[in-house]
Amino acid sequence: MDRTNRVGELTVKTESVFGNLALRFSVHPENLATEALSYILRTSYTASRTFTAFVCNMGLDDVGDLRFDSQQGGLDGSVPDVKCIDDKGRLRVVVENKFWAGLTENQPVTYIRELPVGLSALVLFVVPESRLLSVWNEVVARCKDAGIVTEEVEGPVTARVANIGLHHRLAATSWNVLLDSLSMAAASAGEVGAQNDIAQLRGLCTSIDDDAFLPLRSDELTNLEVARRLNNLCDLPSQIVEAASVVGLCDKKKESPFRYGSGTYIRIGPHTAWVGFAANLWRSHAVSPIWVNFYPEYSQPMYVSRLLSRFAKATPRRCFEVVMGSYRFVAVPIFLSTGVEKQRVIQDAVHQLRELKAELIAQDAEIGAAVDFHTEEANMNPSVSPSTGQPAPIVETILEVGAEGGSIRMSGKRDAAEAWSFWTEQDESTIFDLLDAEDLSGFGGLVKTTEPASSLAEAFALLGERPWFRLYPLQIHPEFRLAIRSEVQKRATPEELAMWDHRDPSNQNSAGS
């Protein structure tokens, strides 16, 4: 992978020796990033003036020349990453650098209370691009809890800025935006040393960022609380679903683990969704480990996105459109209560599911009836045919076989003349989380339905060379049991035939009929 970044006319590496060594030998590489930023601001006049202009662009008055002190203690034992002091010794900017660690108890309220009353000052968070929104929502929520009124104002397009009174402001921007600004200024000024230093810091940031493997630390491996926490998070979704189903909020369908967690499919209102622990969404959106996801195999994500437009505009945000290559789905976080017993966590999660269901149903009624195209009842089993007004043919399962990766189903229905038509469905939805974005972009639909066939033999021909007879028989239509076994006998070895008979859910075999 080409890990370079073009800044102005300069192309710099986004990996660096510094970044590699920092991750290998430092317990807290985030602190090294803070020290590196402070060093660059102290040693490069261009970087210092560019940073000063950067923060003044967020509504800060002219502060003159700033002094940069890193890791200096403050009120209540707080240790902001960088304090920016003006030439009269007054605190003007507090910089808190974040990567993937959560906010501490002091952030941002204690930092705000350290700012000089009546003097233009700023608290600035610098975070990864993908975490900008979630950190901003969290700091705004904490200000609200502390009685600090935040009024978001227009600022640079690359930042979030709010007026918090007393000539003070709160802001958040990304590492990429800040480093791009510093690097372009250094390139224009011809400060080669500063350019190299910024490139090294960028390499460290890249190493810490999303896709980098974080080297294991001994304290992580010996801290069994981590393992216990992961076990709790894997168990929690099923407990939430169970509690929700007891009070009639949803119907539990099937459990479905995947690469980054585990969960359960549910029926909630007129929609099918997956509820589970999703570490990948937790990492990318940093709002919750538990999610309700609407996948295209079982719902209409873009329609669901319209239904949940108010959730998407809420603070904190309650609905996200997730894109992985050409694969798109809608994800709704379940916010977990902290510092309370498990039963309270479950109750709060169930309450959120109740709100989600109410919103789906209310917006369905307002926008239009949701098309439930992934259930036989809505698609193939209407009680009355809309074209004839006569009772519609009932769809019946002829054969269903399955394995861990999905299932194959052969369905059929009889017309008024008792003539059968058959079709097959191959459901591979349980494996889609095992595929990366590149695989998904060329994979097509994960629930594939064939055209109808007029005979059972033609229906089996639609399956091609798939070894369906080696899978577990989950359901066999009694009227076709002997014909199906005959197909198995044509294709299977004697051992496979014996295994099929053993697994037959009817516990009968043709030899004994």
User: In terms of Cα–Cα distance, which of 400, 424, 378, 399 is closest to 479?
Assistant: 399
**Average pLDDT for the chain:** 79
Mean pLDDT of 498-512: 65
**419 falls in which pLDDT band (50, 70, 90)?**
confident
User: In terms of Cα–Cα distance, which of 286, 267, 285, 283 is closest to 275?
Assistant: 267
The residue among 289 and 17 whose pLDDT is bigger is 289
Contact in structure between 408 and 449 (CB atoms under 8 Å): no
Tokens of 446: 């994960």
Report whether pLDDT(102) > 80.
Answer: no
Report whether pLDDT(447) > 90.
Answer: no
Lowest mean pLDDT among 50-64, 333-347, 370-384, 467-481: 370-384
Coil, strand or helix: which one is 494?
A: helix
| Residue 109 burial (10 A CB sphere; 0-12, 13-18, 19+) | buried
Amino acid symbol at 162: A
The residues, any chain, with a CB within 8 Å of residue 171's CB and separated by 6 or more, are 55, 58, 122, 123, 124, 125, 155, 159, 160, 161, 162
Q: Which residue has the tokens 């609905």?
A: 319
Question: Of 18-22, 330-334, 508-512, which has the strongest mean pLDDT?
Answer: 330-334
For the chain, domains (ranges, CATH) are: 4-208 (no CATH), 224-367 (3.30.1460), 378-512 (no CATH)
Q: Which residue has the tokens 């590196």?
A: 36
Mean pLDDT of 253-273: 86
Mean pLDDT of 123-129: 90
pLDDT for res 513: 38
pLDDT for res 387: 35
Radius of gyration of the chain (CA): 29
Tokens of 32: 């090294």
Report whether pLDDT(294) > 90.
Answer: yes
**181 falls in which pLDDT band (50, 70, 90)?**
very high
The residue among 393 and 247 whose pLDDT is bigger is 247
Q: For 126, how many CA atoms within 13 A lie in the half-sphere containing its CB? A: 21
Report whether pLDDT(50) > 90.
Answer: yes
pTM here?
0.47
Mean pLDDT of 318-328: 81
